[in-house]
Amino acid sequence: MARTKINDTGLPDNEWIKVRNSPVHGYGCFARKFIPKGTRIIEYLGERLSHKDADKRYEDADPDDNHTFLFIADRRTVIDATRGGNESRFINHSCDGNCTSETEKGRVFIDAIKNIEKGEELGYDYQIPRDKEDPPDVDKTYACRCGSPKCRGSMLWPPMKKKKAKKAKKGKSKVSSRSTGVASKSKSKKTAKKSAKNPVKKTVRKTAKKASKANRRPVRKTGARRGKAGKR
């Protein structure tokens, strides 16, 4: 049964999750009870504003701040969880999370994609897009601490391309990427189409024009990474 205690957002506490200190980063959301796979846990709430207004709001944000509070709802709308947000803004990134984000008619929801035990922390992949203007150490700023065996070490997506293997010694034939098991670095049309279906965190470094092209994905904008509020 859902609790009726009112929190600082003016909304009733969510029946599935509670917020407390996280070993991953700052605050996190933990299961109050067993959450079955497929459960719609919470809606990502906050002030709804245009991409242009979101850019303007965070244009002076610290580029080294890796907190992500903004979520693209559609081509016209961004959700800023720092204003009027709920517990969802505290859900941490995970490279192999037990949740996923889904967008339906301009609204963003967090759904369970695995069974989640009572007391277990929730997490989903932010898939924050990279930008050509990113500094060389951007992955350090957005380092991931999810601890998963599948952790790619960064909240940014796609993962950094691995350095090419050293040239084969003279007299020896080169080994192809296929034989070494190295995955292709180019995205297939099928993969690109699939990724476009999921919402993405937005950071303040993206321009409104660029952000509109990244429809339905949480995105980074210059400075304030859209994702989690309250992790100060």
pLDDT band at 190 (very low <50, low <70, confident <90, very high): very low
The answer to whether residue 134 scores a pLDDT higher than 80 is yes
Please give the average per-residue pLDDT across 10-16, as a whole number. Answer: 85
CATH 2.170.270.10 correct for 17-131+138-160+191-225: yes
Span 133-161, average pLDDT? 88
pLDDT tens per residue across span 22-53: 999 889 999 999 999 999 999 999 999 999 99
CA-to-CA distance for 183 and 212, rounded, in angstroms?
Answer: 30
Q: What is the pTM of this model?
A: 0.68
Rounded Cα gap, residues 211 and 128, in angstroms: 12
Mean pLDDT is lowest, of 9-23, 137-151, 161-175, for 161-175
**What is the rounded (10 degree) CA torsion for 1, 116, 10, 126?**
-160
Average pLDDT of span 90-110: 96
Q: How far apart are CA 220 and CA 65, in angstroms?
A: 11
| Dihedral angle over CA of 138, 60, 109, 87, nearest 10 | 100
Separation between Cα atoms, residue 232 and residue 228, nearest integer Å: 10
Residue 1, pLDDT above cutoff 70:
no
Nearest to 139 by CA among 121, 153, 119: 153
Least confident of 8-22, 71-85, 104-118: 8-22
Could you give the percent of the chain with pLDDT greater than 90?
46
Mean pLDDT confidence for 166-171? 51
Q: Which two tokens stand for residue 105?
A: 């008619």
pLDDT band at 209 (very low <50, low <70, confident <90, very high): very low
Q: pLDDT band at residue 99, thresholds of 50, 70 and 90?
A: very high
State how far the alpha carbon of 211 is from the alpha carbons of 59, 175, 194, 197, in Å.
Answer: 14, 40, 18, 15
Q: How confident is the model at residue 64 (pLDDT cuts 50, 70, 90)?
A: low
Residue 83, pLDDT above cutoff 90: yes
As a whole number, the mean pLDDT across the chain is 74
What is the distance, to the nearest Å, from the Cα of residue 74 to the centroid of all Cα atoms in its chain?
16
Domains in the chain: boundaries: 17-131+138-160+191-225
